[in-house]
Amino acid sequence: MTQEVRAAGAVLWRVAAGVTEVALVHRPRYDDWSLPKGKLDPGETIAEAAVREVREETGFEAVLGRYLTRTSYPVSARNGSGTVPKTVDYFSAEAVSGEFAANDEVDELRWLDPSAAEKLLTRPADVHVLRAFCQLPVGLSTLVLVRHAKAGKRDEWTGDDDLRPLSEAGLRQANALRRVLALFRPDRVLSAPRLRCVQTVHGVAEDLGAEVRHEPLLSEEGYWPDPVLGVARLLAVAGDCGTPVVCSQGGVIPDLVSALADRDGVELPAARGGVVPSKKGSFWVLSFRARTADDGPVLLAADYYPSALPTPSPSHP
């Protein structure tokens, strides 16, 4: 059986003197200029690998934004018999702190505007990634919309359904979400007022030293009497700056995401039967153009992560 090599990386960006710059690294082993990237460690998600590799190769801490694209190419097999496929998943990532120091893998880093960076990149595949990054502006605001983790079967719970707790599998999903969502640097946590929803994101709030705020309009009972009001509430949350994490239910998320995408002309990932996906323990990373004096937040990208556990790359158009 052919073993695929998995890797992840990022277009690391910053704004300096009003100009967007991206980081390119020079690897003496290959004598090339590339985007920071590297292989996944065992049990690591692509998001975790991207942030770790950026830190190791550039010295900078990064905050993840939208998913960009995947590149694929053959590499030599370890046993020397032919080649195996290698895939690299890329994110947009903002540099928030740090300083470059030459290391075993990288001996030079350059901050360049995208046009100059494209000319310096050695491989066409990296140019493709950079162009995907340039399709949207930097500085988008992020809202992470989570479906609650597994909580057993509704018909097997004899108590108040609002109080149905996470199962053992759900607790594992919640722990994975706690770890992965931190890479997006959330600053507040909101949830439908259901125990399973609150439990799913409690760890995220705990890491922030904050409480989980209840959002009744984003529960199934609160949303469906007036979906327009529910959409407006999510947009208000998105427009309050920062990076909120919002946990809701499977009866709400597909309609909510579809409504936003239809309103703002965003193509969503293809789903079986045309239904917007929303598995238990999954999440959407919604990227908005920030609110202006004349306009509210506008959805520009939507990426679906079927799990916070190690999985294939997120779904995107």
CA 45 to chain centre: 11
Q: Kind of pairing, strands 141-147 and 244-248? A: parallel
Say if pTM beats, i.e. exceeds, 0.85. Answer: yes
pLDDT value, residue 154: 74
Domains, in order of start, for the chain: 5-134 (3.90.79.10), 141-305 (3.40.50.1240)
Query: Can you read off the two tokens belonging to residue 123?
Result: 């491989």
Compute the distance between CA of residue 2 and CA of residue 81 in angstroms, rounded to an integer.
11
Listed as ranges, residues in the chain with pLDDT below 50 are 1
pLDDT value, residue 269: 80
Percentage, residues of the chain above pLDDT 90: 82
Query: Can you read off the two tokens belonging to residue 115?
Result: 């046009």
**What angle (nearest 5°) sits at the alpha carbon of residue 235, between those of residues 246 and 18?**
100
- State which amino acid sits at residue 95: A
Query: Can you read off the two tokens belonging to residue 98?
Result: 């740090």
Buried b (16+ CB within 10 A) or exposed e, 143-160: bbbbbbbbbeeeeeeeee
248 neighbors 145 (Cβ within 8 angstroms) = yes
7 forms bridges with which residues in the sheet?
39, 88
Query: Can you read off the two tokens belonging to residue 149?
Result: 């983790």
Query: Can you read off the two tokens belonging to residue 34?
Result: 């590339």
250 neighbors 278 (Cβ within 8 angstroms) = yes
Query: Can you read off the two tokens belonging to residue 207?
Result: 């890491």
Residue with tokens 């390119």: 24
Angle of the 168-181 helix axis to the 195-208 helix axis, nearest 10? 40
275 neighbors 302 (Cβ within 8 angstroms) = no
68 neighbors 47 (Cβ within 8 angstroms) = no
Coil, strand or helix at 159: coil
